[in-house]
A and B are shown apart, each in its own frame.
Chain A
Amino acid sequence: MNQFQYIQPAKQKAAIDALTKDAKAMFIAGGTNLLDLMKRGLAAPEKLVDINKLPLKKIEFNNNGLRIGALALNSEVAQDKLVREKQPLLVQALEAGASGQLRNMATMGGNILQRTRCPYFYDIALPCNKREPGSGCGALAGFNRMHAIFGFSDKCIAVHPSDMSVALAALDATVVVAGPQGERQILFTDLHRLPGDQPEKDTILERNELILAIDIPDKPFAQKVHYLKARDRASYAFALVSVAAALATDKNIITAARIAMGGVAHKPWRLFEAEKFLEGKPVSEANFRSAAELAMQGAKAFNHNAYKLKLAPNSIAAALKAAAGIA
């Protein structure tokens, strides 16, 4: 780890200015990912701008929906009465993520911006285009059991590791972002990028932009929900595949469906086609199966992750069933 300066501004503008002025500065909030990156030699900021003093912890509800401050802790949000009432899918996803200790430190904004857990990314002795553009993708012909089946490129097949982000993608959330030019809103599904030719870029954010809050609209599909996470052990393991499913129904007819997957792509993977397919159709296992098959079109496996081609549709159907409340 290199020597670095540390500042803790009390004002949002000062924080953003610090990054604008200093190309080697980085924000730090909970630090649950950044500290690992620094210890393993993947990040070497010369200045850490601690944003924990900024007033970004509030959780509030208005007519449009829920607004969660970027610095609210994962554990606080998961235990918040309002959130539990309004957005149970988010709660399920949060509680499926990391460990209790990590959730006590990790912030909402940090969770969104955490980096992939691809082992090639973390070992500086191995090639990784995300860490060192042009060095090659170690996982492509290597150990890729955890890797993408959708949306990858020949430069990168890593997946985004967050559970929470999968739920946010399904829930039509938006993020409120501030930069030197002021604030902007980004649809959550547009925030993370596919790797393409620039796998080093995880999101469309500029490096001096700061996430202020997450907005989750109040929608009719918010209550019939399920987050399914398949993993190697019962807790504290990244998803092999996860599915966030949300349904609105009227007399057994699906009026709205939202489905997103984790562990399958460089970003939370929304299943728009499957959602469209389900809308207007009756709740049934057969329809859920068909939706799952539709969602799997275009999936492609590598040496060690072919199991996802079966695990993913199984999980989609199972999550939809659980959301709909059918056995």
Chain B
Amino acid sequence: MEKAFFDQDNNDNSLDRVDGRLKVTGAATYAAEYQLPNVTHAVLVTSTIAKGRITSLDSKLAEQAPGVLAVISHVNSPGVPAYGSSPAMPQRATLGTPLRVFHDNLIYFSGQPVAVIVADTWQRAEFAASLVKVQYEKEPHQTNLEANLSRAALPANVQRDKNSRYHDYDRGNPEELNTAAVKIEATYKIPTEHHNPLEPHAIIAHWEAPDKLTLYDKTQVIKGTQGNLARAFKLPLENVKVQAKFIGGAFGSGIRVWPHVMAATLAAKKVQRPVKLVLPRELMFTSVGSRPETIQHITMGATKDGKLTTITHEAVAHTSTYEEHTERTILATRMLYDCPHVSTRYRLVNLDVNTPTWMRGPGEVTGVYALESAMDELAYALQMDPLELRRRNHADSDPEKNLPWSSKSLKECYAKGAAHFGWHKRNPEPRSMRQGQMLVGYGMASSTFGVHRNYAKSRAVFQADGKVIVQSATSDIGPGTGTAMTRIAADTLSLSPAFIRFDLGESTLPDAPGQTGSTTVSSVGSAVKVACEALKQKLLQLAVNTPNSTLYNTNPADLSVEQGRIFKTGNPATGVTYTEILKQNNLPQLEVTEESKPGAEWQKYSMSAFGAHFVEVHVNPTTGEVRVKRVVTCAGVGKVINHKTARSQSIGGVVGGIGMALTEESVMDHRFGRYVTGDFANYHVPVHVDIPPIDVFFIDEHDPHVNPVGAKGLGEIAIVGVAAAVANAVFQATGKRIRDLPITPDKLI
């Protein structure tokens, strides 16, 4: 049966962003904008060497500079109680010891905080920072991944965990490659990339009492930050408050508690006043993680008619010397296509750099770039349409887990995307399509991202004035979480969204996981739905239990609700509103708190989102400049909660993918172990004129298995595969296969 499509022209009654007006009028308060009385300003002094030790730190001049309140370093840090025991502060999926700020004189990477200046104004702190004289004893450092491949190793945290998915994986007999009729082999590289959200990371740390800490922090993980700081400073959890009501983008940079957070907190402890610390753009390159540089080797074998027989995929990424960051780089290769013989290998090389972290689409975006580039190469080796090759290898069930998909619409994505894009007009011959002087290329790629779900809680409070306050301690880094939750609550309660207020961004609210891995709607959305459902049932029960109600003694199963009014099904005339029920019972409000978590469905189904991107590029043969001319992106992500914000999220993902494909690269000068592209003049994110019309389509997927909301998550899949689609289009336009991103003019000319 043909599925219905939502396309972008449909009027589906999407909500505008509930906080849109606040954001565009400047009324939204971001971390650095909180006005605290007596606030002081902090500026970091950072290491200029990549490895070694501090031999002397002379802060005399800085301390005497006007307005300076304190210079804090390893020499005089008030100390983090948990640093005494090792390892301190375990971090999810990142093994090792997070950098211990101002703990000792050891230097692990260039850009490491070695001191923090606190002054009465930012300018004075900034000036004093320039007066701190730090002497180092240098040791030889290693920052070059390619030069250190011989040290690539299975991560220690994988070695210790037999259930880790990053162990060497072999399905069937990968040696079958040798007998494949058609084979390809290639190495793909992505450079280190940085998230670079528009809002730099910022924090105000305030010790309200010697054992009470409040942080206004740009974090994606509010409860996690609260827990981390409570453990670090050995405080009762409830004594730490974290607030992050608005976040100007993060893309993963706000998932962890980074050294600058500890520096500000220590500084605030020292000066006993609130301390504000805003990272300058240059420090955004060494302070809040990066996408790891990754080198991937792929081989593929297929029969003459394009049936995949073998895929091998080896990935080597960088990490720091003090922590292991692992991500899902090789996982998609095991499940995206139906292929009997598959092997994957995942290795890390530790380098004298700061620890990388999750960046939008983490793992999949890296792995799928290589896999989908290789699929294009295989299509050319087979002389087969790249889309047809993917259709022929469609995985009808999960070939790794041997489980049925909870739902999957990849074939529909191919069909819808190809039709809208006009894929049939493509002449596969490289350099065969032109528009004026420009070489024209069409490319496509599949995309996938796993469905994830975490434990979450939500409170729903029905107030006497008819408003419902729904709460959960999630954050909103830009996707429109408040809007989506308002929609879920309104739909569940059968109320107009105008009556809903969703509160987020505070650690005092009910538990929520971090806004990571496209889990917010599946986790928090489910909790909101369950809480609102419980609230509705409570209201229904009240209605039938209230003696003076027209619905007294009705069986709740015979009731319907519309616009906040309960009535007998089929008899709308007999009914009562939610507010009337409260009034009849003399209740000031009605409150429920519910939790939601994944269950047995995860043993029965494999759950992933799938999609496809189609891209047209124009390449200037004189200069090698590539411009993306249009993009069609199509995904099956379960239920789309709010089409308007979902479409924005998809567009944002494509923009990120275009940056990854064409411009984004953090270059390090290995002689010094320092980035030489550490500002917006040198780290190129796409600007408006780089972004063409992007048509977004969602396949209407009904998935009763993933979670109560039926939504799979969208933030990550939106970017996964885009870079491969662009690179594949560039190949068709030019005949040049650029296997190291970004595809800059110098590589094409």
A: residues with CB less than 8 A from B are 1-3, 39-41, 99, 117, 119-120, 122-123, 125-126, 138, 141-143, 145, 228, 230-238, 240-241, 304-305, 307, 310-311, 314-315, 317-318, 327
Contact = CB atoms under 8 A, between A and B. Distances in A.
Contact of A2 (B127, B674, B689): B127
Contacts of A3: 66, 123, 127
A240 B623 CA distance: 10
A117 B681 contact: yes
B687 A123 contact: no
Interface residues on B, range: 35 or more
Interface in B383-429: none
A37 B66 CA distance: 22
B625 interface: yes
B749 A311 contact: yes
A307 B749 CA distance: 7
11 contacts: A120-B676, A126-B674, A142-B676, A143-B676, A230-B620, A231-B625, A232-B663, A232-B745, A234-B687, A307-B745, A311-B624
Contacts of A234: 627, 687, 689-690
Interface SS of chain A = loop
A119 B676 contact: yes
B667 A143 contact: yes
B681 A238 contact: yes
Contacts of B622: 314-315, 317-318
A233 B662 contact: yes
Interface SS of chain B = loop
A41 B130 contact: yes
Interface in B127-157: 127, 130
Nearest to A146: B682
Most chain A beta-carbon neighbours within 10 Å: one of B672, B686, B688: B672
A230 to B, nearest CB: 4
A327 B438 CA distance: 12
Given A234-B689, A236-B687, A318-B622, A311 B678 contact: no
Report, nearest first, the 8 A-B pairs whose CB atoms are least far apart: A307-B746, A125-B48, A230-B623, A119-B676, A234-B689, A318-B622, A314-B622, A143-B676
Contacts of B679: 122
Given A39-B126, A138-B669, A233-B684, 15 more contacts: A3-B123, A39-B280, A123-B676, A123-B678, A142-B669, A230-B625, A232-B663, A232-B744, A233-B690, A234-B690, A240-B745, A307-B749, A311-B746, A318-B622, A327-B437
Interface in B666-702: 667, 669, 671-672, 674, 676-679, 681-682, 684, 686-690
Contacts of A235: 687-690
A2 B123 CA distance: 8
B129 to A, nearest CB: 9
A230 B619 CA distance: 12
B319 interface: no
Contacts of B672: 125-126, 138
A197 B645 CA distance: 57
Contact of B669 (A143, A236, A241): A143
B294 interface: no
B320 interface: no
Interface in B442-461: none
Contact of B746 (A2, A143, A240, A317): A240
Given A125-B674, A314-B623, A145 B746 contact: yes
Contacts of B66: 3
B110 interface: yes
A240 B747 CA distance: 13
Contacts of A310: 749
A233 B686 contact: yes
Given A119-B682, A240-B746, A233 B663 contact: yes
Interface string B736-748: 0000000011110
Contacts of B678: 119, 123
A323 to B, nearest CB: 14
Contacts of A39: 126, 280
Nearest to B686: A233
A125 B684 contact: no
B529 to A, nearest CB: 42
B738 to A, nearest CB: 13
B669 A126 contact: yes
A233 B687 contact: yes
Interface of B: 48, 66, 110, 123, 126-127, 130, 280, 282, 437, 620, 622-625, 627, 662-663, 667, 669, 671-672, 674, 676-679, 681-682, 684, 686-690, 744-747, 749
A61 to B, nearest CB: 32
A102 to B, nearest CB: 11
Contacts of B746: 145, 240, 304-305, 307, 311
Nearest to B46: A125
A82 to B, nearest CB: 27
A48 B600 CA distance: 69
B623 to A, nearest CB: 4
A230 B126 CA distance: 37
A143 B688 CA distance: 28
A41 B627 CA distance: 36
B671 A311 contact: no
A307 B624 CA distance: 10
Given A41-B130, A142-B671, A119 B623 contact: no
A315 B677 CA distance: 25
Contacts of B280: 39
Nearest to B677: A119
A123 B678 CA distance: 9
B623 A315 contact: yes
A305 B747 CA distance: 11
A117 B667 CA distance: 15
A209 B551 CA distance: 90
Contacts of A138: 669, 672
A228 B623 CA distance: 10
A125 B690 contact: no
Contacts of A41: 130
Contacts of A117: 681-682
Contacts of B681: 117, 238
A69 B690 CA distance: 33
A232 B684 contact: yes
A317 B621 CA distance: 13
Contacts of B669: 126, 138, 142-143
A121 B280 CA distance: 18
A120 B674 CA distance: 10
A7 B663 CA distance: 42
Contacts of A142: 669, 671, 676
Contacts of A315: 622-623
Nearest to A241: B623
A144 B689 CA distance: 27
A314 B667 contact: no
A54 to B, nearest CB: 27
Contacts of B744: 232
Nearest to B744: A232
A237 to B, nearest CB: 6
Contacts of B689: 234-235
Contacts of A233: 662-663, 684, 686-687, 690
Most chain A beta-carbon neighbours within 10 Å: one of B662, B674, B746: B746
A311 B674 contact: no
A233 to B, nearest CB: 5
A1 B126 contact: yes
Contact of B623 (A2, A143, A237, A311): A311
Nearest to A319: B622
A240 B625 CA distance: 11
Contact of A1 (B127, B620, B625, B690): B127
Contacts of A231: 625, 745
B451 to A, nearest CB: 34
A305 B678 CA distance: 19
Most chain A beta-carbon neighbours within 10 Å: one of B48, B622, B687: B622
A126 B671 CA distance: 10
Contacts of B745: 230-232, 240, 307, 311
